[in-house]
Amino acid sequence: MRKPLLLLFFLFSAIGLVGQTTYILCGKLIDTKSGITKSKQTIVVQKNKITSVMNGYVIPRNSIDQVIDLKNKVVMPGLIDMHVHIENEFGPRTRLENYILDEADVAFNSVGFAKTTLLKGFTTVRDLGGTGVNISIKKAINAGKIPGPRVFTAGKALATTGGHADPTNGSRRVLIGDPGPKEGIVNSVEDAKKAVRQRYKNGADCIKITATGGVLSVAKSGDNPQFTLEEVKAICDMAKDYGMHVAAHAHGDEGMQRAIIGGVKTIEHGTYMSDATMELMKKHDVYLVPTITAGKEVEEKAKVDGYYPAIVVPKALTVGPQIQGTFAKAYKRGVGIAFGTDAGVFKHGNNGKEFRYMVEAGMPVMETIQAATITNAKILKMENEIGQIKPGFYADIIAVDEEPSKNIKVMEEVKFVMKDGVVYKNE
Give the DSSP per-residue string, 69-136: EEEEEEEEEPEEEEEE-TT----TTHHHHHHH--HHHHHHHHHHHHHHHHHTTEEEEEE---SSHHHH
pLDDT in tens, the chain (427 residues): 444 444 433 334 334 444 689 999 999 999 999 999 999 999 999 999 999 999 999 988 877 899 999 999 999 999 999 999 999 998 888 777 777 788 999 999 999 999 999 999 999 999 999 999 999 999 999 999 999 999 999 999 999 998 888 777 666 676 677 788 999 999 999 999 999 999 999 999 999 999 999 888 777 787 899 999 999 999 999 999 999 999 999 999 999 999 999 999 999 999 999 999 999 999 999 999 999 999 999 999 999 998 988 998 998 999 889 999 999 999 999 999 999 999 999 999 999 999 999 999 999 999 999 999 999 999 999 999 999 999 999 999 999 999 999 999 999 999 999 999 999 999 9
Q: What is the pLDDT of residue 19?
A: 63
Question: Pairing mode, if any, of strands 416-419 and 397-400?
Answer: antiparallel
Residues in CB range of 284: below 8 A, 6 or more apart: 260, 261
Cα 130 from Cα 265, distance rounded (Å): 20
Amino acid 93: pLDDT: 80
* Angle between helix 189-202 and 229-241 (nearest 10): 30
Q: CB under 8 Å, gap of 24 or more: what pairs does 42-48 form?
A: 43/75, 43/389, 43/395, 43/397, 45/21, 45/395, 45/397, 45/418, 45/421, 46/20, 46/21, 46/22, 46/421, 47/421, 48/394, 48/395, 48/420, 48/421, 48/422
DSSP state of 180: -
Phi then psi for 135, rounded to 5 degrees? -70, -40
pLDDT at 172: 66
> 98 φ, ψ to 5°?
-60, -25
Residue 427 CA to residue 422 CA, distance in Å, equals 15
Give helix 353-360 / helix 323-333 axis angle, nearest 10°. Answer: 60
Structural domains of the chain in order of their starting residue, each with its CATH number: 20-77+388-426 (2.30.40.10), 79-379 (3.20.20.140)
> What was the pLDDT predicted at 178?
77
What is the model's pLDDT at position 1? 40
Give the C-alpha separation, 309 to 306, whole Å: 7
Residue 265 Cα to chain centre, angstroms: 15
Residue 397's alpha-carbon distances to 34, 68, 231, in angstroms, are 17, 12, 41
- 385 burial via Cβ count (<10 Å: 0-12, 13-18, 19+): middle
Measured CA to CA, the distance from residue 165 to residue 220 in angstroms comes to: 13
| pTM score, whole prediction | 0.92
Which helix H or strand E contains 279, and what residues bound it?
helix 275-283
**What is the 8-class DSSP label of residue 185?**
B
Write down the pLDDT at residue 7.
Answer: 41
What is the DSSP code string of 313-352? HHHHHHHGGGHHHHHHHHHHHT-EE-----BTSS-TT-TT
Q: Which amino acid is at 416?
A: F
DSSP 411: G
